[in-house]
Amino acid sequence: MTKAEIISGTETAKEVRAAVAGGVAALKEAKNVTPGLAVVLVGADPASEVYVKNKARQTVEVGMNSYEHRLDETVSEVTLLTLIDQLNRDETVHGILVQLPLPAHIDDHKVINAILPEKDVDGFHAINAGRLATGQSALVACTPVGCVILAKKAKSDLSGLDAVVIGRSNIVGKPVAQLLLQENCTVTIAHSRSKNLPDIVRRADLVVAAAGQKEMVKGDWIKPGAIVIDVGIHRITKENGKSGLVGDVAFDEAAAIAGAITPVPGGVGPMTIACLLRNTLLACYRANGLADPVI
């Protein structure tokens, strides 16, 4: 039986996109500038194709320009770096995103760190990670920003909460933990070597599950009333033979105990692209010497 408030990422992402569209219109009015997002896709991974298509559609819907660059799977690292250099110099491009994963012969870190930090709308550049960690203005990774926006839907002031982040990846776990620290949470980061994970999670007023393990977080791990943000995405085949998605949290069990919880699908997932558009708008405002819009 669901007791928890369901935090809708679908609705919240709509609100973020509407705010971004407002910011785009204001920028056109004030400076006659249209934000531009360039997405680079190497190879033809089907999941990446879907993400790139969705990104392009939503970019145009909020009034921005979308530029797609598709490179063959066999492209050399040098050719990819040359394209990034061109995009860095292109004044119509305010955000650059290189869709990951890249083929094995290309060094992800080298490519990401070749993007100008001011155009790194994925927030993966070492400079942006460092700025986040030291409390300076940064472009912050999209999924983590989405997680915090959703947590604040459940409780606008997270200050003082005991937060447990499960996962320590550079793209989710670590930046989420940094953001929650900025929100004055007391943050514990758990990972695959953590001992007694259920007990660690039981202490949490706020849980962010980003382990990439299907329905790992059980209902009896959840402190009554806790906020649960589920980042995991796993494709399953349901009993009726149709495919569906589940997260890192056993939703039905957890929803009976938690105070608020994000569903999968319709939770963190839709927030990622919305926050990418938000970052592109921020990058464009900053490139034009304007203060950050309130979005």
Cα 140 from Cα 206, distance rounded (Å): 20
Task: Kindly tell me which of 240 and 243 has the beta carbon lying closer to ligand NDP.
Answer: 243
Considering only 191, 198, 236, 244, the residue that binds ligand NDP (CB under 6 A) is 191
Tell which one of 151, 208, 210, 255 touches ligand NDP (CB under 6 A): 210
**Under a CB-based contact definition with an 8 Å cutoff, are residues 279 and 121 in contact?**
yes
Measured from the CB of residue 170, what is the shortest distance to ligand NDP in angstroms?
8
Q: Is 10 in the site for ligand NDP (CB under 6 A)?
A: no
Residue (of 41, 63, 36) closest to 53 by Cα position: 41
Asked if 212 interacts with ligand NDP (CB under 6 A), we say yes
Assess contact for 43 and 103: CB atoms under 8 A. Answer: yes
> Which C-beta is closer to ligand NDP: that of 145 or that of 172?
172
The piece of 75-83, 113-121, 131-139, 185-193 that touches ligand NDP (CB under 6 A) is 185-193
Using the minimum distance from each CB to ligand NDP, give the nearer residue, 211 or 226. Answer: 211
User: Residue from 58, 99, 143, 280 that binds ligand NDP (CB under 6 A)?
Assistant: 143
**Residue 185 interacting with ligand NDP (CB under 6 A):** no
The one segment of 75-83, 109-117, 162-170, 280-288 that binds ligand NDP by CB under 6 A: 162-170
Q: Site for ligand NDP (CB under 6 A): which residue of 63, 167, 175, 263?
A: 167
Q: Is 231 in the site for ligand NDP (CB under 6 A)?
A: yes
The tokens of 54 are what? 């969705």
Q: By CB under 6 A, is residue 269 in contact with ligand NDP?
A: yes
Contact 248, 213 (CB under 8 A): yes
Min separation Cβ 210 and ligand NDP, Å: 4
Q: Which residues of this chain interact with ligand NDP, rule CB under 6 A? A: 143, 166-169, 171-173, 190-194, 197, 210-213, 216, 231-233, 268-269, 272
